[in-house]
Amino acid sequence: MVYAFESASFVFGARLCYLVDSSAPSVRRIPFSSHQLSLFKFVQERIQCAGSNPGAGPGLQFSHELIPVFRAIVEQVEDEEVEKTLHHSLSNDLAQNPTNISKYDILVSRYKPHLNLSDKGLNKAERSQLKIPKRSYLGLQCTECHRFFQDRTPPSRCEKCQGLLDTVLDEDALSHYSKHDLGNTAHSMWKFHMFLPVRAGTIPVTAGEGATPLRPIRSYSRSRNILVKDETRNPTGTFKDRGASLAVTRLAQLGVGKLALASEGNAGCSFALYSQMAGIRCNVYLPNDANVAKVELSSKLEAHVTGVHGTISDAGRNAAKFAETTGAYNASTFVTPFRHDGKGTMALEICEQLGWESPDYIVYPVGGGVGLIGMWKMFKILQRLGWIRNRPRIVAVQPRGCAPVVDAYNKGRTEVAGWKTPKTIAKGLKIPKPLAGSWILKCLRESRGIALKVSDVEIHKAMLNVAKQDGLLVEPSSAAAFAAIPKLHTTGAIDTNDSVVVIATGSGLKTLEQS
Ligand SMILES: Cc1ncc(COP(=O)(O)O)c(C=O)c1O
Ligand SMILES: [Zn+2]
């Protein structure tokens, strides 16, 4: 009896595999899924059967190429017995075919261990054996060394190389959803739960974040085609609520009871709100010059707020130290991998609101890059799923007094250098060295993006302009995106007929002293 694994094809990046019994009268091919424990039991039986009956031949044979794939699956199996058996047969195979272990590890990450069986290309009987997982969340992957991790404990950066972690969504599982599964009612971003990194049966910690309007604006009358995604309508007045709702939901599931984060103010308010709802103790570190209302609101929502001398980088060091010494979870930007997908739901909503079309451009004010990375990830997924035809180009806007991303991008760099003396009225964009600098640049390059700077004077003017003409009250960090529009038009970077969505990231109600 000779069994071998055979890989058939790639389906949305996942491998379609078969267990092949070539000794059967007609070759038997059994579809292979990492989600089918029964198959592992079957494999186990075969191994045992071969062991007790030497005449039966070598039992399992793994085709060499599939060893890393198989190992990746082993890592996902939670049944100890099965795991032991598979490890054993795997090491036997390795002993016979010595393989360079590091090469092997690289292969594991290249194959992406989120193996799953697609029903494409299977016959009816095979298809009926399958149980398609309804959740797409598989785990976390390092953006640097590409190792895969399960998030059984509250995760932060890569244990091996300190790289930032991204969540891995199984697009094969997502492909079993259709736009029609979304329903007509949109009470919050959780309508798109299947695109979010949570497990089955999750009850979200939600205050109705997301499901914000997409409406035309008059302020820039040269163009007929400018829409605003009005994120000021969120529970604490900013898009940060999306990231915080998602992060707190997952962290509460993982048993976090105390968290800390650095913020310029808005993320602090959002985490204070959702932490309070989930019964998590929230500690916010803010630069001393944070807007008063942001400090007040965070405190009112029962967060413990600490003012820090210096920039958000200094606040970040304080939050990290506090987390280290007290065991609090560090929920700062990209130290936790659970915020960007929440903001990514803006991309999902925008496409749905445009009748499952993508706009030509998204104009976004970049600070830590959470929204840019999250949205770009979702636009790519939607296109691969075939829900949208095209992807937008991303326009990254930063203030002249702190524009590390814009400079790096326009100079063709792959890393963001630190900005020495940040000075701007757009406090949410005063991030001298974003942790995810190279990730932001990668997204911009992939989108054939544009990066430009605006002055504080232009930001202030734009803030007054949209308030007067469109009744849209935004804070300076958000106004930066609007300030970019006339520049994009006059330089010809964007045609006046192009469809443009500007993200109004935060309400001016928390920054009245700056209006
Ligand atoms: C109002 C506002 N807009 C934009 C940003 C930048 O967001 P991101 O970190 O997603 O780049 C922030 C961040 O604090 C903000 O508060
Ligand atoms: Zn790593």
Q: pLDDT digit string (tens) for 157-197?
A: 999 999 999 999 988 788 878 887 787 666 899 999 889 99
In a domain, 191, yes or no: no
CA 151 – ligand 2 centroid, Å = 14
Q: Looking at the CA of residue 243, tell me the nearest atom of ligand 1.
A: 10
Cβ atoms of 312 and 264 closer than 8 Å = yes
Q: For a pocket test of ligand 1, which of 443, 477, 514 has the largest count of ligand atoms closer than 8 A to its C-beta?
A: 477
478 lines ligand 1 (CB under 6 A): yes
Among 279, 297, 330, the domain-final residue is 330
In a domain, 378, yes or no: yes
CA 365 – ligand 1 centroid, Å = 7
Q: What 3-state class would DSSP assign to 39?
A: helix
Q: Which residue stretches of the chain have pLDDT < 70? A: 1-134, 184-186, 200-201, 221-223
475 lines ligand 1 (CB under 6 A): yes
Atom 16 in ligand 1: residue holding the nearest Cα: 428
Atom 7 in ligand 1: residue holding the nearest Cα: 367
In a domain, 132, yes or no: no
Question: Amino acid letter at 310?
Answer: G
What token pair was written down for 157? 């950066």
| pLDDT attached to residue 88 | 53
Neighbours of 134 (CB within 10 A): 11
Terminal-to-terminal C-alpha distance of the chain: 78
Q: For a pocket test of ligand 1, which of 228, 266, 311, 430 has the largest count of ligand atoms closer than 8 A to its C-beta?
A: 266
State whether 208 and 171 are in the same domain. Answer: no
State whether 82 and 227 are in the same domain. Answer: no
State whether 476 and 440 are in the same domain. Answer: yes
| pLDDT attached to residue 389 | 96
State whether 120 and 148 are in the same domain. Answer: no
Cβ atoms of 429 and 374 closer than 8 Å = no
CA 475 – ligand 1 centroid, Å = 10
State whether 324 and 362 are in the same domain. Answer: no
264 lines ligand 1 (CB under 6 A): yes
State whether 317 and 455 are in the same domain. Answer: no
C-alpha dihedral (410, 416, 419, 424), degrees to nearest 10: 60
What token pair was written down for 194? 């299947």
Q: What is the CATH number of the domain that holds 392?
A: 3.40.50.1100
Length of the chain measured in residues: 515
| pLDDT attached to residue 280 | 95
State whether 354 and 487 are in the same domain. Answer: yes
In a domain, 223, yes or no: yes
State whether 367 and 401 are in the same domain. Answer: yes
Residue entry with tokens 């302009």: 465
State whether 369 and 503 are in the same domain. Answer: yes
Burial of 261 (0-12, 13-18, 19+ CB in 10 A): buried
State whether 110 and 165 are in the same domain. Answer: no
| pLDDT attached to residue 60 | 41
- Domain total of the chain: 3
CA 38 – ligand 1 centroid, Å = 47
Cα–Cα distance measured from residue 487 to residue 491, given in angstroms and rounded to the nearest whole number: 6
State whether 400 and 436 are in the same domain. Answer: yes
Among 64, 99, 127, the domain-final residue is 127
| pLDDT attached to residue 385 | 93
Nearest ligand to the C-alpha of residue 105? 2
238 lines ligand 1 (CB under 6 A): yes
Q: Looking at the CA of residue 333, tell me the nearest atom of ligand 1.
A: 9
Cα–Cα distance measured from residue 438 to residue 254, given in angstroms and rounded to the nearest whole number: 29
Say what the pTM is.
0.77
In a domain, 24, yes or no: yes
Residue 507 forms beta bridges with which residues? 474
Nearest ligand to the C-alpha of residue 342? 1
In 354-403, which ranges are continuous DSSP H helix? 370-385
In a domain, 181, yes or no: no
Among 330, 351, 385, the domain-final residue is 330
State whether 226 and 297 are in the same domain. Answer: no
Q: Looking at the CA of residue 364, tell me the nearest atom of ligand 1.
A: 4
Cα–Cα distance measured from residue 284 to residue 269, given in angstroms and rounded to the nearest whole number: 9
Model confidence pLDDT, tens digit, residues 61-83: 444 444 444 544 444 444 444 44
In a domain, 180, yes or no: no
Question: Could you list the residue range(s) of the whole structural domain that residue 303 is in?
Answer: 137-175+239-330
In a domain, 189, yes or no: no
Q: What 3-state class would DSSP assign to 31?
A: strand
428 lines ligand 1 (CB under 6 A): yes
290 lines ligand 1 (CB under 6 A): no
